[in-house]
Amino acid sequence: MPVSTPRQTLNRLTTIVFIQWMGATLGLPLLALFLERRGGSPHIIGLIVAAFFLAGVVTQYFLGRVADQFGRGPVIVGSLVAYGLASMTYALPLAAPWFTITRVVQGASAGALEVASMSAVAALFAENERGRAISRIMAAQLMGAAVGPLVGVVASVNDLGWVFFATGIVSVAAAVVAVRTDVGDVEYDPTPLPPLRWNRPFAGALVAAAATGLAVGVYETCWSLLMHAHHATTLQIRLSWTMFCLPFVLLSRVGGWIADHLNRRVTVLLGLLNAAAFLATYPHIHNNVVMLFVGSAESIGAALSSPSVASLLSQGAHARELSRRQGLYATSTTLSMALAATSSGFLFTLDTALPFSAVAAVSAALALSTLYFWRGVRGRVSAPTANAEAAN
């Protein structure tokens, strides 16, 4: 395979990530309703959604280690193929609990793709350029998530199994692109991997990941159910996902610039507190049109802060630990998502506002704890000093 420049690799990775996320989100806004039609109660739906995240918790660090040892390319290709094949099972006439297996495979595969692609960007770009490079990957993720629900708008809940089947085809197509993508893998090194180094930027990033994951877990399980309880139409539910994603896509490069030029620690703290405040607000908005625009407003804070936490994650890391760091970051995110998804389905049956309010409080507390973990850490990185933070 010919060696590509970092920019060329970044362009191909953004294409792969966009294709996979678009396919993965074609039917996602209506997944809870699809499972409800297949006999799933809110509690069962929560467990099925949580299975996706639990699979990531179990596998993401291990797959990060595989990527550090054997290369990111095979991990990316394998994850896309596995995700695609699992997605095709939604077309089978199965009762809701059987889709737990599908979600396990999808969760492990999606986690592997994120770990390998994000660590590839960290390996290819210097610390003072990573924010902007990472923002490209994040923009591709959210652009795919914005386009996917609109592409799938012609399908009803009853037809959703075939929409998911189409997502499987899209994911396999992305694997074909990935086969010919140089992700910066070097010749296989048989020596043992060096120990994973723990520093303050890394530890604080894991806490920030947990705060974010808790919120996402609630949205994955309860967002569509909340809008449905507020008598939203299917179109409004789909648009709510798209309208959250679009500001993120438009502003992600600004967030990347902020990560490379301003104080990353402050940016992340403000972004996490912003997310917690919006999370607590949604259950009390009963106008679904207003909900669409409030979701877009929340997205602005996420777009401006997300590249900063991803940059802090790799700050001071050496090349052969990047995937393991990304794996632990993803594990922290998905573990908290799983906890939130498992509990929020039950809490939603008690009171529709309860999962949103409870998780908002915990997320805000975790956000404030980053003040402790990131004490003394450089918030600004103005030069490519790959190991400057190793002692922190």
**Secondary element (H or E) of residue 134:** helix 127-151
CB 193 within 8 A of CB 321: yes
Token look-up 């569509």 returns 224
What is the rounded distance in angstroms from the CA atom of residue 133 to the CA atom of residue 125? Answer: 7
| Of 361 and 170, more confident | 361
With a pLDDT cut of 70, the percent of the chain lying above it is 92
Checking if the pLDDT of 392 tops 60, the result is no
pLDDT tens track for 259-283: 999 999 999 999 999 999 999 999 9
pLDDT at residue number 368: 96
Q: 18: domain range?
A: 6-184+197-373
Structural domain count, the chain: 1
255 class by beta-carbon count within 10 Å (0-12 exposed, 13-18 middle, 19+ buried): buried
Q: Which of 109-118, 198-207, 210-219, 336-345 has the lowest mean pLDDT?
A: 336-345
Mean pLDDT of the chain: 84
Residue 191 inside a domain? The answer is no
Closest CA to 249 of 150, 344, 146: 146
Higher-scoring residue by pLDDT: 279, 24: 279
Length of the chain: 392
| 1 falls within a domain | no
* Residue 363's pLDDT band (cuts 50, 70, 90): very high
DSSP conformation class of 26? S
51 occurs within a structural domain: yes
Residue pair 264/380 in contact (Cβ under 8 Å)? The answer is: yes
CA distance 104 to 291: 31
How far apart CA 37 and CA 58 sit, in angstroms, is 29
What would the two tokens of residue 119 be?
Answer: 């660590």
Cβ-contact 80, 96 below 8 angstroms = no
Query: What does the pLDDT read at residue 29?
Result: 67
- pLDDT exceeds 70 at position 312: yes
Residue 381 within any structural domain of the chain: no
| pLDDT level of residue 387 (50, 70, 90 thresholds) | very low
**Residue 319 predicted with pLDDT over 90:** no
Interior/surface letters 181-218, b for 16+ CB within 10 angstroms, e for the rest: bbbbbeeeeeeeeeebbebbbbbbbbbbbbbbbbbbbb
Rounded to an integer, the average pLDDT of 136-140 is 89
Per-residue pLDDT band for 389 (boundaries 50, 70, 90) equals: very low
| pLDDT over 70 at 101, yes or no | yes
Q: What is the pLDDT of residues 149-193, one digit of tens each?
A: 776 666 667 777 888 888 888 888 888 888 877 776 666 667 778
Q: How far is CA 388 from CA 2, 124, 309, in A?
A: 32, 18, 17
Rounded CA-CA distance 64/71 in Å is 10
What whole-number distance in Å separates Cα of residue 174 and Cα of residue 194?
32
Amino acid (1-letter code) at residue 176: V
Residue 25 belongs to domain with CATH number = 1.20.1250.20
Contact 297, 278 (CB under 8 A): yes
**Cβ atoms of residues 200 and 376 within 8 Å:** yes
In a domain, 386, yes or no: no
Residues 227 and 102: their CA atoms lie apart, in Å, by 25
Structure tokens belonging to residue 24: 């993965």
Q: Helices 354-373 and 322-350 sit at what angle, rounded to 10 degrees?
A: 150
Joined together, the tokens standing for residue 260 give 């490379």
Q: Which residues contact 190 (CB under 8 A, 6 or more apart)?
A: none
- In this prediction, residue 208 carries a pLDDT of 96
pLDDT at 385: 45
Q: Residue 173: inside a domain, yes or no?
A: yes
What pLDDT is stored for residue 388 in this prediction? 40
Asked, for residue 392, whether it belongs to a domain, the answer is no
The pLDDT value recorded for residue 153 is 63
CA distance readout (Å), 299 to 139, 294, 351: 12, 9, 25
Kindly tell me if the per-residue pLDDT of 239 is higher than 60.
Answer: yes
Transcribe 156-215 into DSSP letters.
Answer: -GGGHHHHHHHHHHHHHHHHHHHHT------S---SPPPPPPP-HHHHHHHHHHHHHHHH
> Would 189 be classed as within a structural domain?
no
